Amino acid sequence: MIALLASLAFAPGALATSGFDATSAGATFTGSETWDQGETVQLWSAIERHQDSDRTLFTDGEFNASTEWQDNAAFAPWIGACFDTGTPGGGTFLLHQGVHAATASGTPILFVPGAGDNASRGFVTMATKMDWSGRPVYAITFAHPHGDVFEQAEIVADAIARVREVTGATQVDLVSHSKGGIAVAVYLSHHAGAEWGNASPQSRAYGSVGTTYRGDVRRSVFIATPLGGIDTAFRWPLGNLGSLTTDYALAPSSWRTYYPYGTGTPAWNTDLTAQDFFADGGDLFPGHRQILARQDYALPGSLPWLGAYSLQTDWYTSYEGGYGYYSFSDGIDAAIEDGGDLLDRLANAGVDPRVELFVLAGENPLMPNGVEDILVGLFGETWVDLATAGADEWASLLADAVGEGLLSVGVTRDEVQGLATGDLILGEISGPSDGLVFLTSSTASDRLLARGATVEETYVVNLSHLDLLYASPITGQLLVDAAAADPVEDAWMAAVGARYIEADTLGWVERVLADEATDTGGDADTDTDADTDTDSDTDTDTDTDTDADSGGDDSGGDTDIDGDPTDGGSNACGGCATGSGGSGLLVAGIALALTTRRRRA
């Protein structure tokens, strides 16, 4: 199989659109830009800026103050400087290269971030681990954090061409998160018979100039990818109140117009067309309409057990369309149509059957509170009244959610306290989810299989949308230790840390991407960590991902966590002192900072 793929990789044809040159970078940065904002940790050995100059497909996106790249933002260090602007044009991207690229070997790994993210935030912990294990590591930062999926699919093709050019590899492995996984899936599914429709200039152009899949991907890991779509902004319309100001909207609004004094006073209104899901009137979030789909869970507004929190403003008309008391919405079906029914088209196209597929999904909706995240912007408004609620009120709400079957995992006492103090935020709870993506969506891998591809493994863990990117025994133990050091302020970290130890998603990704021929297991065993000490055990467990898929058994893990946060963790940090340059502590330190950060720099 691998030999066949290698031969196909050399088949004649364009490496990317005719506007992309994979042989050189437009600019290369090897100085302070490769470090974190405080210049204390080197994240990359180099960052290249590339430009695909094709004007048939790529357009210049629209930005606001919340989406443009800021040089002084800790979550996006030096991104604006590397782009040479906070508002880079279409077809531009950054390619980040692992610190140890000069001595790395094996199949290169290319990381593809999700909406609102970049290579130096979400993936830096996982990328650092894989870099220290000896693999060639690369990561993309897209020009627009909420860009069009077809444009991003072509950037994925461009980045693969560049990685192959630099390394001489015939194939790469892809690891994508959230919306980035949809862009990856589009590239892997693009073939002569694929039909992408005419909903937008990009969908039309992609059919004619987009790179057809070249057999250059060995394995693809989808992490928290909404393969079955999302409907969050339509489901929880109170979050629209956080997007009323165009220049500071962090997420798209499901309302087209807001009437602060009611729709009976139409002269007083706020036009939201610049920040809604549609292309007309402004298009700050073009990629979001492409990942929409109706979800098979009751709307929160129809769930009386949520009490005051079921009072989502105009919940029915926001979803179905029409005038409510304070808003007008075109409805989710119109937005899906405006996005070209992309997910259905993707399901019909099917990933190339030669690519080995892996799926990683979460089922815990509790997330550390970081205000730069879209989720916090949305659910911070949704649960605004609960921000001052006591632990008893939170406990009652969550107990009802578990009792109604909408949460598949339990919540510990310390986590309830974390919600009460604002250290944690509650995401999507109208069905089992990772806080944003329903579990039924993130595991909807059947939507990739129309041409006979197979999913090698699905791993479902008790973590939230972003936590999936950071979990290992080392990072978990650091959180447990931090909780013990300050049990008054940080007790919630113990439960999160215990879930990290149990899930070990970093170890899982390392295992499924191991090179058979050179067996990177040898590198991994001497690598950093308890990841590899406990990996074998954890992976043996996780291979039986039937427990995780059922959702029920993970709640047993919560019981253990509640009773003994460090249960089974005596060797959890066993790799902290291994002889690999302190890589385990470096990986863990980055993850800890990301997990506990509260405010945008």
Q: What is the pLDDT of residues 487-496, one digit of tens each?
A: 988 999 999 9
Distances (CA, A) of 365 to 214, 358, 426, 465: 37, 22, 6, 8
pLDDT tens figures, 273-284: 999 999 999 999
Residue 189 lies in a domain: yes
Degrees, nearest 5: CA angle 416-419-424: 120
Q: Of 362-376, 387-401, 483-497, 548-562, which gets the smallest average pLDDT?
A: 548-562
Number of H helices, E strands in the chain: 23, 15
What distance in Å separates the CA atoms of residue 125 and residue 108, rounded to the nearest whole number? 17
Q: Of 223-227, 240-244, 327-331, 525-529, which gets the smallest average pLDDT?
A: 525-529
Instruction: Please check the confidence at residue 525 and state whether its pLDDT lies above 50.
Output: no
Residues 517 and 387 in one domain: yes
Cβ of 68: how many Cβ atoms within 10 Å? 17
Residue 191 lies in a domain: yes
Residue 235 lies in a domain: no
Out of 223, 257, 289, pick the residue that ends a domain: 223
What distance in Å separates the CA atoms of residue 286 and residue 276, rounded to the nearest whole number? 9
Residues 477 and 508 in one domain: yes
Residue found by looking up tokens 């061409």 in the block: 161
Residue 563: pLDDT band (50, 70, 90) is: very low
pLDDT attached to residue 378:
59
Residues near 324 by beta carbon (within 8 Å), at least 6 away in sequence:
263, 313, 314, 316, 317, 318
Region 442-451: what's the mean pLDDT? 98
DSSP per residue, 46-107:
EEEEEE---TTT--PPP--TTTS--TT-TTSTTHHHHHTSSSPPTTEEEEEE-TTGGG--SS
Residue 233 lies in a domain: no
Degrees, nearest 5: CA angle 251-334-144: 35
Q: Which residue has the higher pLDDT, 389 or 320?
A: 320
pLDDT attached to residue 217:
98
Cα Rg of the chain, angstroms: 23
Residue 423: pLDDT band (50, 70, 90) is: confident
Out of 164, 189, 223, pick the residue that ends a domain: 223
Identify the three-state secondary structure at position 155.
helix
Instruction: Please check the confidence at residue 583 and state whether its pLDDT lies above 80.
Output: no
Residues near 495 by beta carbon (within 8 Å), at least 6 away in sequence:
412, 414, 415, 558, 561, 562, 565
Residue 356: in which H helix or E strand, if any?
strand 356-362
Instruction: Please check the confidence at residue 7 and state whether its pLDDT lies above 50.
Output: no
pLDDT attached to residue 27:
97
State the greatest distance between any 2 C-alpha atoms of the chain, in Å, as a whole number: 70
Instruction: Please check the confidence at residue 533 and state whether its pLDDT lies above 80.
Output: no
306: Cα within 13 Å, side-chain hemisphere: 20
Instruction: Please check the confidence at residue 548 and state whether its pLDDT lies above 50.
Output: no
pLDDT attached to residue 539:
39
What distance in Å separates the CA atoms of residue 129 and residue 472, rounded to the nearest whole number? 10
What distance in Å separates the CA atoms of residue 253 and residue 246, rounded to the nearest whole number? 10
- Whether the CB-CB separation of 597 and 545 falls below 8 Å is answered with no
Residue 280 lies in a domain: yes
CATH number of the domain at 173, please: 3.40.50
What distance in Å separates the CA atoms of residue 253 and residue 459, rounded to the nearest whole number? 32
Residues 125 and 271 in one domain: no
Count: domains in the chain: 3
Measured in whole angstroms, the distance separating CA 552 from the mean position of its chain's CA atoms is: 24
Residues 105 and 191 in one domain: yes
- Whether the CB-CB separation of 235 and 300 falls below 8 Å is answered with yes
Residue 517: pLDDT band (50, 70, 90) is: low
pLDDT attached to residue 87:
97
Residue 236 lies in a domain: no
Residues 514 and 566 in one domain: yes
Residues 297 and 402 in one domain: no
Q: Which residue has the higher pLDDT, 560 or 182?
A: 182
What distance in Å separates the CA atoms of residue 379 and residue 165, rounded to the nearest whole number? 43
Region 24-28: what's the mean pLDDT? 96
Residues 191 and 283 in one domain: no
Residue 232 lies in a domain: no
Residue 591: pLDDT band (50, 70, 90) is: low
- Token readout for 131 is 């870099």
Residues 61 and 162 in one domain: yes
Supply the range of the domain harboring residue 261.
244-338
Share the mean pLDDT of the chain. 83
Residues 73 and 205 in one domain: yes
Residues 328 and 474 in one domain: no
pLDDT attached to residue 580:
40
- Whether the CB-CB separation of 155 and 52 falls below 8 Å is answered with yes
- Token readout for 432 is 């089992």
pLDDT attached to residue 85:
96
Q: Which residue has the higher pLDDT, 59 or 383?
A: 59
- pTM here? 0.85
Distances (CA, A) of 538 to 65, 74, 502, 503: 43, 32, 7, 7
pLDDT tens figures, 387-414: 566 777 777 877 777 777 767 677 888 8
Region 450-467: what's the mean pLDDT? 97
Residue 463 lies in a domain: yes
Region 339-351: what's the mean pLDDT? 98
- Whether the CB-CB separation of 37 and 72 falls below 8 Å is answered with yes
Residue 29: in which H helix or E strand, if any?
strand 27-29
Identify the three-state secondary structure at position 506.
helix
What distance in Å separates the CA atoms of residue 364 and residue 561, rounded to the nearest whole number? 14
Residue found by looking up tokens 């894989």 in the block: 130
Instruction: Please check the confidence at residue 1 and state whether its pLDDT lies above 50.
Output: no
- Whether the CB-CB separation of 78 and 71 falls below 8 Å is answered with yes
pLDDT attached to residue 75:
81
Identify the three-state secondary structure at position 123.
coil
Strands 322-323 and 217-223, sheet pairing = unpaired
Cβ of 310: how many Cβ atoms within 10 Å? 15
pLDDT attached to residue 114:
96
Q: Which residue has the higher pLDDT, 288 or 242?
A: 288
342: Cα within 13 Å, side-chain hemisphere: 33
Q: Of 108-112, 482-486, 575-579, 580-584, which gets the smallest average pLDDT?
A: 575-579
Region 177-194: what's the mean pLDDT? 97
Instruction: Please check the confidence at residue 253 and state whether its pLDDT lies above 80.
Output: yes
Residue 586: pLDDT band (50, 70, 90) is: low
What distance in Å separates the CA atoms of residue 174 and residue 218, rounded to the nearest whole number? 8
Residues 262 and 409 in one domain: no
pLDDT attached to residue 250:
87
Region 131-136: what's the mean pLDDT? 96
Residue 10: pLDDT band (50, 70, 90) is: very low
Residues 287 and 394 in one domain: no
Out of 189, 223, 257, pick the residue that ends a domain: 223
